[in-house]
Amino acid sequence: MSPADVVYVTETAAHDLEIEEINAEAFGPGRFTRAAYAIREGGPHRRELSFVALVDGRVVGSVRMTPIAAGAGRALLLGPLAVRPDYKNLGIGRKLVALALEAARKDSWQLAILVGDAPYYMPLGFSIVIPRGQAIMPRPVDPARFLACEFVPGALASFTGNVVHADLARDTIAIAAE
């Protein structure tokens, strides 16, 4: 198997079962207790900004993008990113992230956020969110793993306060306006 055997496509509902299997394999049952999962429970991800890697029609990797909000700021939450063990170290994860970030830029998003390993994600355009405490996840997160990728310089400045799914932020705004 070589990287040339991998086909990358936009995620569809037909991929859901295999994506869930990959995430269960990669993150186990503990994934349901993570801060990012708590945010994802608030609403749907954006399929048109999410991608899968296929080998012979089988999903071997996946990345999703979910719209989030903190204060006046809006961003995409990148993740989960998972690749089946037999396909790791082939660049599939990096390619999935690159595709998702490029799709987000083309869709006029200004910022992507994630919780992950800085040494892996920093070469892909992410940096540690500074100042610490600017954006607050719904569950504890190691500040060194709370990363951002600005597509527009300064976009991170308005991303302040509690991080929620963007649909929940709209609900809060609608209730306040009534």
pLDDT at residue number 37: 74
Lowest-confidence segment of 26-30, 57-61, 106-110, 166-170 by average pLDDT = 26-30
Positive or negative, the Cα torsion across 117, 119, 123, 128?
positive
Domains and CATH numbers, the chain: 3-177 (3.40.630.30)
Pairing of the two strands 146-150 and 73-83: unpaired
Both structure tokens of 85? 């063990």
| pTM to 2 decimal places | 0.89
Give the separation between CA 156 and CA 132, rounded to whole angstroms.
Answer: 12
Q: Bridge-partner residues for 66, per DSSP?
A: 77
Q: Say if residue 171's pLDDT is above 70.
A: no
Q: Residue type at 41?
A: E
Query: 176: pLDDT confidence band, cut at 50, 70 and 90?
Result: very low
pLDDT at residue number 175: 36
Nearest to 113 by CA among 14, 35, 6: 35
Q: pLDDT, tens digit, for every residue of 31-60?
A: 555 667 778 888 899 999 999 999 999 999
Contact criterion met (CB below 8 Å) for 143 and 18: no
Contact criterion met (CB below 8 Å) for 60 and 92: yes
150 by DSSP, 3-state: which? strand
